[in-house]
């Protein structure tokens, strides 16, 4: 019989020390699946499979998660995003495990999908603002022209 490597010895020690816990977990897992509640497969067969995240928790609807993080005020005021933010100040929220800018989601809730190739721009020039009344669609060129008109950018080309 070949000598065990250090890694194999460590693995065997771990398994020996935790074998009871591992086996108990397997028994509990099977018992939980058959305790009267429907399994995932049975729910799917009924057309009612729960939406779950990677961690097994029920996922809350996007609209609920979104509006919990908005400090809404009067219709003409900026509605500041209270959740996580991009380094440039734009709010972000995860949609299907990918970060999406919050102002884009706000625009979609108010006006529908954003056509491909268009950006969601701010009239108010306030990156964390998600008030749909302050948002409008534009091209990359519109975005650059808006930035320059508001004095946020620097001129392109070499300095004179």
The pLDDT tens digits of the residues spanning 73-116 come to 888 999 999 999 989 899 999 887 888 999 999 999 888 888 98
pLDDT at 28 over 50: no
Are the beta carbons of 143 and 160 closer than 8 angstroms? Answer: no
- Provide the token pair at 97: 């495990």
What tens digit of pLDDT does each residue of 129-157 get?
999 999 999 999 999 898 888 887 766 65
Q: How far is CA 142 from the centre of its chain?
A: 27
- Provide the token pair at 116: 């491909």
Domain holding 73, by residue range, is 62-149
Looking at the structure, tell me whether residues 74 and 103 fall in a common domain.
yes
123: CATH: 3.90.75.20
Number of structural domains the chain divides into: 2
**Phi and psi at residue 108, in whole multiples of 5°?**
-65, -40
Distance from C-alpha of 90 to C-alpha of 103, rounded to nearest angstrom? 8
User: Does residue 112 form part of some domain?
Assistant: yes
Q: Is 147 helix (H, G, I), strand (E, B) or coil?
A: helix
User: Does residue 118 form part of some domain?
Assistant: yes
Looking at the structure, tell me whether residues 26 and 70 fall in a common domain.
no
In the numeric block, the tokens 């306030």 are attached to: 126
Looking at the structure, tell me whether residues 81 and 34 fall in a common domain.
no
Which carries the bigger pLDDT value, residue 60 or residue 115?
Answer: 115
Looking at the structure, tell me whether residues 82 and 40 fall in a common domain.
no
pTM for the predicted model, two decimal places: 0.60
Looking at the structure, tell me whether residues 120 and 71 fall in a common domain.
yes
User: Does residue 154 form part of some domain?
Assistant: no
């Amino acid at each position: 019989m070949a000598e065990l490597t250090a890694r194999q010895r460590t693995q065997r020690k771990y398994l020996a020390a935790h074998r009871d816990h591992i086996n108990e977990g397997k028994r509990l897992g099977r018992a939980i699946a058959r305790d009267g509640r429907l399994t995932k497969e049975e729910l799917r067969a009924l057309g009612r499979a729960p939406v779950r995240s990677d961690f097994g928790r029920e996922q809350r609807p996007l609209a609920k998660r979104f509006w919990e993080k908005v400090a809404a005020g009067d219709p003409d005021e900026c509605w500041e995003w209270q959740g996580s933010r991009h380094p440039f100040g734009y709010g972000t929220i995860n949609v299907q495990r990918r970060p999406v800018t919050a102002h884009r989601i706000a625009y979609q809730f108010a006006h529908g999908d954003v056509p491909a190739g268009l950006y969601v721009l701010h009239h108010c020039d306030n990156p964390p603002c998600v008030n749909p009344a302050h948002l409008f669609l534009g091209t990359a060129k519109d975005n650059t022209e808006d930035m320059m008109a508001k004095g946020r950018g620097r001129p392109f080309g070499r300095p004179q």
